[in-house]
């Protein structure tokens, strides 16, 4: 199984894809945020290179995330990304918007489908979008609902963050 | 084979505290593509009022792995790890983790259930700092598919 079609972003062989940093240390002001506001989307090329880096950084060396032979032996369509890596990308979408990790009170996801990562330079393209699902003006917080897609299908369920507004 | 029910609530602490390293935070950021200066630039983090680099929200999984592994790989629990999939994970941050933190973690099974023949294990891990103050609570669910 290979990801269908061409990747929607650049070759993505680097583990540090570049985004416009903008004003990244400041959380949006509570009064400026409304339900339905969309977060700037994030597209990430998840390559084998990234899986190896993530394995080392996280300490999760499960071979299904880097070894085709083992992945096939346990019935997977190929090497798959760490669910926690996909969750980390969802976290990035949120921290980019809220001004850094300090604004994230809660982050939770359900892992619903694997992200199969081919052994090529393009990798698997994961597209993340987010929308403000609720605003609690009393608490000064907002709930962000995140969607993560791979090959047109969602790979995370109930992906939600609670963030502290400025 | 049912999982060992006596594991519910039994605490599994880290053997030694987890010391958060500057380069470990940077390594984690490089892996996930995080470039926020608060996470990779010590001067920027300090200028923003943090003691040092702050870690992305899911970095906590690296902190708790040692305690969770002691629990989940315990032979008396009876979990067949070759059949396990990660179903969900949630982090509640009481404050950001930062480089220089010396963290303790205690993992315990919140619940053991059997759903459609599959073993479902919910694990809660509490992270505290050197002063004993809460840093992060994380809850994850693992499912061991029934043997065919």
Q: Is residue A123 within 8 Å of residue A48, measured between CB atoms?
A: yes
Q: Is residue B9 part of a domain?
A: yes
Cβ pair B90:A109 closer than 8 A = yes
Residue B49 located in a structural domain: no
**Number of domains within chain B:** 1
In a domain, B42, yes or no: no
pTM for the predicted model, two decimal places: 0.90
Q: Which of residues 13-72 of B touch A (CB under 8 A)?
A: 24, 27-28, 30-39, 44, 48, 50, 54-58, 61-62, 65
Residue in B closest to A26 by C-alpha = B48
Band (B134; pLDDT cuts 50, 70, 90): very high
Considering only CB atoms, A100 lies closest to which of B38, B86, B92, namely B38
Inform me whether the pLDDT recorded for A22 exceeds 60: no
CB A17 within 8 A of CB A27: no
Residue B43 tokens read as 């001067």
B107-120 pLDDT tens trace: 999 999 999 889 99
Pull the structure tokens for residue B38: 């608060």
B48–A109: do the CB atoms touch at under 8 Å? no
- In B, which residues are within 8 Å of A95 by CB distance? 34, 36, 56-57
Query: What's the pLDDT at A30?
Result: 86
- Whether B10 is covered by a domain: the verdict is yes
d(CA B138, CA B89): 7
What is the torsional sign of CA B57, B62, B63, B68?
positive
Asked if the structure places residue B110 within a domain, the reply is yes
> Is residue B21 exposed (0-12), middle (13-18) or buried (19+ Cβ within 10 Å)?
middle
Residue B140 falls inside a structural domain: yes
Give the pLDDT mean for A75-82.
Answer: 94
Residues of chain B with Cβ-Cβ distance to A16 below 8 Å are 30, 33, 35
B135 inside domain: yes
Is the reported ipTM for this assembly greater than 0.90? Answer: yes
Region A52-63: mean pLDDT is: 95
Domain containing B106 equals 5-20+59-144
Q: Is residue B66 part of a domain?
A: yes
State which residue of chain B sits closest to A86, comparing Cα positions: B32
CATH of the domain at B102: 3.10.129.10
């Amino acid at each position: 199984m290979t990801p269908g079609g061409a990747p929607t972003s650049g070759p993505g062989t680097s583990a540090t894809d570049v985004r416009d940093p903008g004003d990244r240390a400041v959380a949006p002001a509570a009064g400026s945020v409304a339900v339905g506001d969309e977060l700037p989307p994030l597209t990430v090329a998840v390559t084998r290179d990234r899986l190896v880096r993530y394995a080392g950084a996280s300490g999760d060396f499960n071979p299904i995330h880097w070894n085709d032979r083992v992945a096939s032996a346990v019935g997977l369509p190929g090497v798959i990304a760490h669910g926690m890596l996909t969750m980390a990308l969802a976290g990035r979408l949120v921290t980019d918007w809220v001004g850094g990790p300090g604004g994230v009170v809660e982050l939770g996801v359900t892992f619903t489908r694997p992200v199969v990562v081919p052994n090529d330079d393009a990798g698997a393209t994961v597209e993340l979008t987010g929308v403000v699902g609720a605003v609690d003006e009393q608490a000064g917080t907002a709930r962000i609902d995140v969607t993560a897609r791979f090959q047109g299908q969602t790979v995370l369920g109930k992906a939600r963050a609670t963030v502290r507004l400025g | 084979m049912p999982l060992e029910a006596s594991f519910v609530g039994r605490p599994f602490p880290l053997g030694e505290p987890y010391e958060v390293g500057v380069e470990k935070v940077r390594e984690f950021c490089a892996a996930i593509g995080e470039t926020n200066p608060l996470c990779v630039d010590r001067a920027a983090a300090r200028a923003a009022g943090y003691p040092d680099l702050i870690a992305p929200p899911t970095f906590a999984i690296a902190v708790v792995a040692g305690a969770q592994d002691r629990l989940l790989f315990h032979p008396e629990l009876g979990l067949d790890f070759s059949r396990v999939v990660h179903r969900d994970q949630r982090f509640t941050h009481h404050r950001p983790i930062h480089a220089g933190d010396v963290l303790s973690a205690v993992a315990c099974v919140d619940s053991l259930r059997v759903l459609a023949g599959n073993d479902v294990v919910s694990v809660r891990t509490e992270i505290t700092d050197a002063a004993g103050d809460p840093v992060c609570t994380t809850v994850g669910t693992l499912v061991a598919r029934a043997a065919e």
